Structure 1
Amino acid sequence: MYRLESTLVVTFEHLTERRPQVSPEELLAGFRPSERFGEVSFETYRPDPQQPSQSAAVEALKKFAASMGQSPQGSGGFFSKLFGGGSKNPAAAQGVYLDGGFGVGKTHLLASLWHAADGPKAFGTFVEYTNLVGAMGFRNTVDALSKYKLVCIDEFELDDPGDTVLMSRLMRELSDAGVRLVATSNTLPGALGEGRFAAQDFKREIQVLADQFDVLRVDGEDYRHRGLEKAPNPVVPGTEEATVEEKFPANSRIAVDNFANVVEHLSQVHPSRYRQLVADLDGICWKNVEPITRQDIALRFVVLADRLYDRDLPIVSSGVPFDQVFTEEMMAGGYQKKYFRAVSRLTALAREAATGERA
């Protein structure tokens, strides 16, 4: 395990031995942009000159951020919007929906808004907010988030009707409390234009809240390219630790586990704690990756994949490649957007471990 150039060693740990206990305050403190978007700004966003809607979205969101210290023009809260209509000026809107295809920089723009706006404020994915409600309870979540000026919801999803109704209710109560809301959509890689989660879908699902949201289009091509790239070949079984020692710097902390044990362990840890489950690690090593056949386990694994991607943790693995970790039925079913996203992110992290290039 020792390297010739250093007396420092790679430290191996086990995810299956981690059982994080997280207070409500710690959960709420985690609602901020991940490390990937920890220092982005409107200035670091690079609008495509061929897509004027991108520059227009930047300017509109700058105005929205500047208006955070003001009461929305013409708005007395939810019920006044219901009966009086709302302004079409995003700076005066109670909420904004960023409508665009996969890979046009909506999360970058949302994180830039969060950084630019006055707090207190929260930033999380749709799934993180539903998990927060599961961990804290609906009323406690409303009470906590009602104290915020801004709530950003990334990757709004429609594939679970119960969660969609829950989030619509949460957003309505936050809006009643004067909280400004901004959301982006979750879209399927390769589905730009065709079958895209678009503004009309979003507005239909949030029902009477729809009039409070101004839509900002963010047109453009997917900078990450469409579809899923082929996952890199897994390492030879029995060489996992040696590969980690070769690929990772000395003094790295790597969680090495049998894959089946990891997915079983996820059922014992609430998804709201997955961020803490992978805290302080530098990488992941999974032995004998195999297809997941149960939907409940697969959906938990998707949340873990998101948290690994947020932390930018490279993955060394043996077994099947990550483009085979979900069954064909899952990849074609109602939760396909989640599974496509997970495969794309896991593949990027596996490629980062293999090449050393950031995902």
Structure 2
Amino acid sequence: MPIRLTERRPEVSPDRLLSECVPPPRFAPVRFETYRPDPAEPSQAEALALLIERGNALAEPRRTTKPRRLGRLFRGRKSEPQTKPGIYLDGGFGVGKTHLLASLWHVSAGPKMYCTFVELTNLVGALGMREAVAALSQYRLICVDEFELDDPGDTMLISRLLGQLVDAGVQLAATSNTLPDKLGEGRFQASDFLREIQALAAHFDVRRIDGPDYRHRGLPVAPDPWTDDQVERAAANHPGASCDHFVDLYHHLGELHPSKYGAFLDGVETVGIVDIRELTDENIALRVVVLADRMYDRDIPLLASGVPLDHMFSPTMLKGGYRKKYLRALSRLIALAHTGMA
């Protein structure tokens, strides 16, 4: 019998959230040596060279005699022009930003932490700001993938958190599809929070990475969906496979905090979803985005029936403020669907 995700209600402790702040299984084996810059996109080789340079610096053991000088690691010597305490990789989908970020984490000496932006905000919510600052200040490097602000509360929360961590000497590295001074644009009145947004941008040296989405080079936009019966039979024949109706699944997701979506997939090796439909509710769509991210982190193949995946988000959504999130989710779900059909 397939697993029913709709029957799962995992409980996740703050300790587990913290202990899981490492690159997801998909990016556990990546290294700088396995990154293949596109010769037609010089910004990729430039970003690789920069991250290797910073990785070499972070590979050196931290000096325990003068911990407060850690904040100078990326700033150079006093006689040299100072750079910002963090590196921020901006670019489109599938150009290898996460590969580079995870590679930096792998070569760096600890203590170190790796998480997505959503996981970081969930961690602060679970620990509280004071405890989060105390716990995260112990890290030498914090890598934050998929950095994007969706509301004023997140803007103020993360601005305050990162400011205190930088003051404590923590080094930052982040990826996003949005430049730091454009975070929140299209979703709320960014001008009302300009001070917070500028404070965030001040922490980062921004590097742009250009190029097409490598996941779709030579691939169709989306595979043809299976029938409901095909998905159900395939899930029944795959050990560790789940199978749920799309509507039941997204209603169930609404009853769980997004910080639990990772544990939600514990032991699941294939996800089957029948009767995928076009989404028009923003809240439901954003929950599906988080689930897609956690599936992609764990490299879990997808078996799907219903509308083609590239029709799952309505045209209005794909033109709105969360457009980049939806496009990222589509990019990832289509890649997982191709794996499921292989």
What's the TM-score bracket when you normalise by the shorter of the two chains? 0.7 to 0.9
User: What SS class does the counterpart of residue 138 from structure 2 fall into?
Assistant: coil
Q: 1:165 aligns with which of 122, 145, 156?
A: 156
Range 39-48 or range 287-296, more displaced: 287-296
Distance 2:230 2:35 in 1: 41
Which position in structure 1 is the counterpart of 2:167? 176
Percent of aligned pairs with the same amino acid: 51
Q: 1:29 aligns with which of 16, 19, 33?
A: 19
- Alpha carbons 2:181, 2:197 under 8 Å: kept: no
User: What SS class does the counterpart of residue 173 from structure 2 fall into?
Assistant: strand
Which position in structure 1 is the counterpart of 2:106? 115
Structure 1 position 62, deviation (Å): 2.6
- Alpha carbons 2:2, 2:235 under 8 Å: kept: no
Q: 2:244 aligns with which of 239, 250, 257?
A: 257
Distance 2:125 2:276 in 1: 29
Structure 1 position 308, deviation (Å): 0.8
Q: Return 5+ residue gaps in structure 1 as ranges.
A: 1-10, 187-196
User: What SS class does the counterpart of residue 313 from structure 2 fall into?
Assistant: coil
Q: Which amino acid aligns with 2:132?
A: T
Alpha carbons of 1:311 and 1:205: their partners in 2 closer, same or farther (altered >3 Å)? same
Structure 1 position 57, deviation (Å): 2.7
TM-score, normalization: structure 2? Answer: 0.83
Structure 1 position 302, deviation (Å): 0.8
Q: Does 1:235 align with 2:235?
A: no
Distance 1:243 1:77 in 2: 53
What is the count of residue pairs matched by the alignment? 324
TM-score, normalization: structure 1? Answer: 0.80
User: What SS class does the counterpart of residue 328 from structure 1 fall into?
Assistant: coil
Q: Does 1:295 align with 2:282?
A: yes
Distance 1:223 1:287 in 2: 28
Q: Return 5+ residue gaps in structure 2 as ranges.
A: 184-193
Range 21-30 or range 130-139, more displaced: 130-139
Range 49-58 or range 293-302, more displaced: 49-58
Which position in structure 2 is the counterpart of 1:148? 139
- Alpha carbons 1:228, 1:344 under 8 Å: kept: no
Alpha carbons of 1:318 and 1:333: their partners in 2 closer, same or farther (altered >3 Å)? same
User: What SS class does the counterpart of residue 34 from structure 2 fall into?
Assistant: coil
User: What SS class does the counterpart of residue 12 from structure 2 fall into?
Assistant: coil
User: What SS class does the counterpart of residue 22 from structure 1 fall into?
Assistant: coil
Distance 2:79 2:205 in 1: 12
Instruction: Give CA-to-partner distance per residue, 1:160-201, whole Å, 9 cap, x none.
Output: 343233222211111111111011112xxxxxxxxxx34653
Q: 1:324 aligns with which of 291, 300, 311?
A: 311
- Alpha carbons 2:180, 2:200 under 8 Å: kept: no
User: What SS class does the counterpart of residue 287 from structure 1 fall into?
Assistant: strand
- Alpha carbons 2:62, 2:109 under 8 Å: kept: no
Structure 1 position 102, deviation (Å): 3.1
Which position in structure 1 is the counterpart of 2:266? 279
Alpha carbons of 1:217 and 1:238: their partners in 2 closer, same or farther (altered >3 Å)? closer
Which position in structure 2 is the counterpart of 1:192? none
Which position in structure 2 is the counterpart of 1:138? 129
Structure 1 position 21, deviation (Å): 1.1
Which position in structure 2 is the counterpart of 1:38? 28
